[in-house]
Structure 1
Amino acid sequence: MPYENERSGYEPLRRIAENERVKELLSNYRVRQRPVQRTAPLPLIDVSTLPHNGWKPNWVLAIDGSFLPVAIKNGYPGAEAAYITVASVMLDAAKLRELDQERPVEPKVFRATQESEALDDLLPGRNVVYEEDGSAKVSFRRALFNLLTAKSMSEDGESLLDTYEVLLQHKPKPQKAQAEQGCPYEDCPVDGTYRPQNGTFLCMCKQKRALYSTDALRIHERMNPESGSNDRIYSEVMQVVERIWVIHILRTLEKQRWLTSLKRLAILIDGPLAVFGQPAWISQAISEELKRINGLVREATGEDILLLGIEKGGEFADHFEQIDQNENGVAGSFPKRTAALLTDDYIKQNIYFSDSTKLYGTGTYYGRKFFYKTRSGARIIATLPYLDDDHADWLRADVSQFPRLADAAMLLDELISSRYPNSLQPIVAAHAEASIPFNLGKKVLERLARDLTTETKK
């Protein structure tokens, strides 16, 4: 690590560039050449040929989240906390279609087609400790449990924690050793293991300290207590809350007997239908609960749930851009209104190199990924959920494995935004509600944290 304002010299760069070991390693790495003919097929589907009954949604719900770490002035160096927000935006799609016929439209009339709500909370990070706790990690665990406890879609309905604990019952238990997990207290005198339970319960050692159902997510295990960034744990909390919130909404509709409303509702979430990192196990639990709820929705409406994960960038977006170009780099090779259904072989040969026999997405995804080029030429990377066991077979790509693909394509055609390349109006709106302006937001929230911690000490 450099000192403050210390600049790097050129000598290390020269030394690395001339190092024989470095040259040897670089010469042995595989370089992927642009193939003349792909060995793994990429099934292309002209969506205009798919059966479609003219369905259009009345409403579109979009969900996106963000977080912002800020410094906490509590006398300890490097102390920080993170503000986390997950926004839900409901877009009146039926009204938008009416306004499209009346362009131009005043901005305030357009904004009236959107309603938003946000879940906002604060997570303690390094060197931030509640008075009754013994470490920042303990406080983080408590804060995560309290975050889910405090959030609910309906005042008289289940909390987000209740929804999470339903998913906890689906936690994969292939072996006894994996069904148990280590005590989260680093100074546990017996260094024991335990089975996750609902609510708050006590460690089995003589100290009888609090354990939480949310400890099963194991996000706290990645907390960096001394130096470096803790962005990874904040990001993992955000992705879990975003995805549990979708299940929470569906379960609330079920309890209120409003499942028929899903016939005219589409749900979009920022990012793929997947969970990565420490809490990845919950992706399989989400898949099981989605299948159960979807069975009820089929009975009530005759249709599957329409849920889409939307990726804004990354390796899949880069690859889609590549295959849309000819050899001269000119875009337009990929046909409009066409979907490409991705398989395990195609992904491993063209996007993420791997010779593993483990199928892509195993243990992390609860949906199938596809490329779609809209009527206007926008490139969208999307995921549709596993609603039947067969949908998770990435060895093949059949339209039947992508529930409501025709409706999804129609929706993507309709929701394209001109504000950003390859963007969708609901996701843009949800991101605007969730995104905290980095510079201004950091100053405001740091001042808020300073003022509140000062008041607490008085």
Structure 2
Amino acid sequence: MPYPDERASRIGHVQTALSPAILEAMERWNTPALEVGDPSHVTDRVTSLEEIQKDQRPDPTFAIAFDGSNQEVEARPGYPSVRVGYVQIAGVYVDIPRFLNANRSGLVDARELERAQITQTVNSVLPGSNVFLKGITGRDTWRAEFDRSFVESEIDDFGDPFSLTDALMTIHGGPGSPASSLTLSKCPTCKAPNQTVTALGGTCAAPSCLTKLYATDVMRGYEEFTDDGENLLTLTRAMNMAERLLLVSYIDGFYREESRNLSQGIFITDGPLAVYGPAAPMKSQFLEYWSQLCAALETRNIAPPLLVGIEKSGRFVDHARAIQSHIPNGHVMMLDTPYVNQYVVNQELDHYYGRDEFYGRRFIYKTSTGEVLVVTVPRVPGGRPYEKPQRDGNGGFIPVPSEQYASYPTLRATLEVLDRMQTRLYPNAVIPIALAHSASSLPLGTGRSVLTLLAQKGLKMPQDSIGLSQFKPPRYGHRGR
């Protein structure tokens, strides 16, 4: 690392660029193919959407899409740097009939499109490195403030306020019935196992510890927190969990208020139906909640809601673009696990892909207009979307239920709705997610400068030259429409 103000030589890169060892190393490496040689491994796996059985349900009348944005800023650069993280998530309700009627004459009626949507935002600020609550460490400060942000981030669309913590307790309980407590796998401080907490928190049961515990500790975000450095990954994990729990807030709200309305909606998340990092075990709670929801609705003869995750980037999106010329319009591709292992993630064919993170299964769909969507859809009435591949003794694999279209009766209806709500505003995009992204985005440039100044003012630190007298530090859980 250089000293402050030390600059590299203008030709300092030459030795690296000419090094035979570096060139030899790169010649040994392989990268994913950009073109498909033999397309049969793709064409053998695609099916016309019209050939997939469609479950009985009314035409969807509304879509709710969820997206989030985050930024970590330096309130004080240098050492020790002081960092603050901002999170903003949005849910956008779209009236589908009104949205479709906004394009009656070949041109979109912007006023009708505006009337077709309602936006709800939830935002919060989280401490980064070298930010403390009095008397506790930086990591414990993050734990306390993360819990506070979930408690105070709430919606009131269904009557009484319902917070992200309520949603967290709900996926540990059941539809319309939040759990009274949940079990942490370990104490964050002493690692004592099986600690019980309520929505209000708790205390470590180990007599030598007695650490303050929080319901949000179940997501284990503190494990990736660093007291001295960037915490963008920790912030991103928190944002992703907040997005998914905001979705649960709305699904459960409809269930409590009028469950029949659920069969008329499609709920869309940005990104796959999956949980990554230390919070990955939480995918079991989402799976269990979804299974209970489907079972409860079935007893009332109500079709389950359409639930889908849409990916904008990543290696599955890159792979879909590489093979899209071999998928006809209006066709969907089942990505069986051996295919994923061989052509996408470079693993052994019988590797158990998706075991720890997913509560939905990925598909590639080429729309009627030739756009390509990578979507994740859950099984109905529930169950693991990925199973360990089983060899059949002849070099092939035994078909498993999670790779049968019959396990995804909502798939066709889901893709048909997405097909009708495409937009050419961005490549391979659908309107609800584009609206949610617009509502949740924290802009770079001037926007980042404003957030930096907010942090400086809130922490009573020297401010940059641009004044900020007109701004006030943000409140946790601010809600707006």
Give the TM-score normalised by structure 2: 0.82
Taking the aligned partners of 2:427 and 2:31, their CA distance within structure 1 comes to: 29
Shift in Å at residue 169 of structure 1?
6.6
- Contact 1:83/1:122, CA 8 A, preserved across alignment: yes
Taking the aligned partners of 2:378 and 2:447, their CA distance within structure 1 comes to: 35
Structure 1 alignment gaps of length 5 or more: 171-178, 326-332
Range 26-35 or range 260-269, more displaced: 26-35
Residue in structure 2 matched with residue 87 of structure 1 by the alignment: 90
Residue in structure 1 matched with residue 168 of structure 2 by the alignment: 164
Within the alignment, does 1:437 sit opposite 2:438 as a pair?
no
Q: Deviations over 1:19-39 (max 9, x none)?
A: 44x455445444566442656
Residue in structure 2 matched with residue 279 of structure 1 by the alignment: 279
Taking the aligned partners of 1:249 and 1:37, their CA distance within structure 2 comes to: 42
* Counterparts in 2 of 1:281 and 1:9: CA distance versus 1, 3 Å: farther
Which residue, 48, 57, 62 being the options, matches 2:60? Answer: 57
Q: Deviations over 1:378-404 (max 9, x none)?
A: 111101013322643475432112231
Taking the aligned partners of 1:216 and 1:30, their CA distance within structure 2 comes to: 39
Taking the aligned partners of 1:389 and 1:192, their CA distance within structure 2 comes to: 31
Shift in Å at residue 100 of structure 1?
2.2
Q: Deviations over 1:389-420 (max 9, x none)?
A: 26434754321122312211211110101111
* Counterparts in 2 of 1:355 and 1:38: CA distance versus 1, 3 Å: farther
Q: Deviations over 1:187-207 (max 9, x none)?
A: x5xx64452432322232445
Taking the aligned partners of 1:287 and 1:81, their CA distance within structure 2 comes to: 33
Residue in structure 2 matched with residue 136 of structure 1 by the alignment: 138
Taking the aligned partners of 2:226 and 2:129, their CA distance within structure 1 comes to: 7
Q: Deviations over 1:268-327 (max 9, x none)?
A: 1100000111111111110110110122223335422200100011111111111124xx
Shift in Å at residue 7 of structure 1?
3.7
Taking the aligned partners of 2:445 and 2:437, their CA distance within structure 1 comes to: 17
Structure 2 alignment gaps of length 5 or more: 175-182, 390-398, 461-471, 474-481
Q: Which amino acid aligns with 1:450?
A: Q
**Correspondences of 1:188-267 after superposition (within 5 Å):** 192-198=192-198, 199-203=200-204, 204-206=206-208, 208-227=210-229, 229-256=230-257, 258-267=258-267
Within the alignment, does 1:149 sit opposite 2:143 as a pair?
no
- Contact 2:270/2:309, CA 8 A, preserved across alignment: yes
Q: SS at 1:392's partner residue?
A: coil
Which residue, 445, 453, 457 being the options, matches 2:459? Answer: 453
- Contact 1:297/1:305, CA 8 A, preserved across alignment: no
* Counterparts in 2 of 1:357 and 1:40: CA distance versus 1, 3 Å: farther
Residue in structure 2 matched with residue 423 of structure 1 by the alignment: 429
Q: SS at 2:102's partner residue?
A: helix
CA RMSD, Structure 1 to Structure 2 (Å): 2.8
* Counterparts in 2 of 1:15 and 1:158: CA distance versus 1, 3 Å: closer
Shift in Å at residue 261 of structure 1?
0.4
Residue in structure 2 matched with residue 175 of structure 1 by the alignment: none
Q: Deviations over 1:236-260 (max 9, x none)?
A: 001111112222222222232x110
Which residue, 389, 397, 407 being the options, matches 2:383? Answer: 389
Taking the aligned partners of 1:248 and 1:386, their CA distance within structure 2 comes to: 20
Taking the aligned partners of 1:341 and 1:389, their CA distance within structure 2 comes to: 17
Taking the aligned partners of 1:116 and 1:41, their CA distance within structure 2 comes to: 40
Shift in Å at residue 117 of structure 1?
0.4
- Contact 1:152/1:160, CA 8 A, preserved across alignment: yes
Q: Which amino acid aligns with 2:234?
A: I
Give the TM-score normalised by structure 1: 0.86
Shift in Å at residue 122 of structure 1?
0.7
Shift in Å at residue 427 of structure 1?
0.4
* Counterparts in 2 of 1:39 and 1:432: CA distance versus 1, 3 Å: closer
Residue in structure 2 matched with residue 349 of structure 1 by the alignment: 342
Taking the aligned partners of 2:346 and 2:129, their CA distance within structure 1 comes to: 36
Q: SS at 2:300's partner residue?
A: helix
Q: Which amino acid aligns with 1:406?
A: R
Q: SS at 1:86's partner residue?
A: strand
Taking the aligned partners of 1:10 and 1:403, their CA distance within structure 2 comes to: 61
Q: Which amino acid aligns with 1:236?
A: R
Q: SS at 2:154's partner residue?
A: coil
Taking the aligned partners of 2:286 and 2:238, their CA distance within structure 1 comes to: 15
Within the alignment, does 1:334 sit opposite 2:293 as a pair?
no
Residue in structure 2 matched with residue 314 of structure 1 by the alignment: 314
Residue in structure 1 matched with residue 369 of structure 2 by the alignment: 376
Residue in structure 1 matched with residue 356 of structure 2 by the alignment: 363
Shift in Å at residue 166 of structure 1?
3.9
Q: Which amino acid aligns with 1:392?
A: Y
Residue in structure 2 matched with residue 112 of structure 1 by the alignment: 115
Q: SS at 2:275's partner residue?
A: coil
Range 413-422 or range 100-109, more displaced: 100-109
Misfit runs of 4+, over 6 Å: none
Q: Which amino acid aligns with 2:166?
A: D
* Counterparts in 2 of 1:4 and 1:60: CA distance versus 1, 3 Å: farther
Within the alignment, does 1:411 sit opposite 2:405 as a pair?
no
Residue in structure 1 matched with residue 477 of structure 2 by the alignment: none
Taking the aligned partners of 1:61 and 1:169, their CA distance within structure 2 comes to: 23
Taking the aligned partners of 1:182 and 1:194, their CA distance within structure 2 comes to: 6
Residue in structure 1 matched with residue 19 of structure 2 by the alignment: 18
Q: SS at 1:134's partner residue?
A: coil
* Counterparts in 2 of 1:153 and 1:111: CA distance versus 1, 3 Å: same
Q: Deviations over 1:14-61 (max 9, x none)?
A: 3475244x4554454445664426568852111123345685311110
Taking the aligned partners of 1:61 and 1:39, their CA distance within structure 2 comes to: 35
